Amino acid sequence: MAELAGSKTEKNLKEAFAGESQANRTYLAFAKKADQEGHPQVAKLFRAAAAAETVHAHAHLRALKGIGTTADNLREAVSGETHEFMEMYPQMITEAEEEGLTEALRSFKFANTVEKVHANLYQKALDNLGKNAAVDYYVCQVCGHTLEAEPTGPCEVCGAGKNAFEKID
């Protein structure tokens, strides 16, 4: 049997996974805009295409053997989020500051702050795996800040009102 690791196909699967994942998020943003502009049928089409892109992305990830046990997946998530807030976003923040691109800078700073929160939430879930404690999560729709309980005041990251939080099911 051929070996996937280091093959052209592995590289292609990773590229395809990234592309399909990005298309999913882009089409969901397009759907939201179409809804806002009063085009519900177009929004529905964008959501359908986004769902199809998710099917493709998941198939590529499975082919990459990128889905492990829940404990393995939590460890991978902690590692990924930690990389983002320790290495990836600080560099992006510096470059956006140097270039004076304030909208990008704001976006990077919000993400950097929230990725640390995500790493901590994943670690907590890993530490408590199997205990099945019920937790409700709320996500700020402005900056992505994630809480384990209903917000009691404005967002600690971006200052948006508590009504900016959406409960995630």
Q: Are 118 and 146 in contact (CB under 8 A)?
A: yes
Q: Indicate whether 133 pLDDT > 90.
A: no
Q: Indicate whether 1 pLDDT > 80.
A: no
Residue 169 amino acid letter? D
**pLDDT tens per residue, range 37-60:** 999 999 999 999 999 999 999 999
What domains are defined for the chain?
8-63 (1.20.1260.10), 69-133 (1.20.1260.10), 135-169 (2.20.28.10)
Phi first, then psi, for residue 51 (nearest 5°) are: -65, -40
Identify any residues that bridge with 35 across adjacent strands, giving them in sequence order: none
Q: Indicate whether 74 pLDDT > 90.
A: yes
* SS3 readout for the chain: CCCCCCCHHHHHHHHHHHHHHHHHHHHHHHHHHHHHCCCHHHHHHHHHHHHHHHHHHHHHHHHCCCCCCHHHHHHHHHHHHHHHHHHHHHHHHHHHHHHCCHHHHHHHHHHHHHHHHHHHHHHHHHHCCCCCCCCCEEEECCCCCEECCCCCCCCCCCCCCHHHEEEEC
Mean pLDDT of 67-91: 98
Q: What is the pLDDT of residue 137?
A: 98
**pLDDT tens per residue, range 142-163:** 999 999 999 999 999 999 999 9
**pLDDT tens per residue, range 5-18:** 999 999 999 999 99
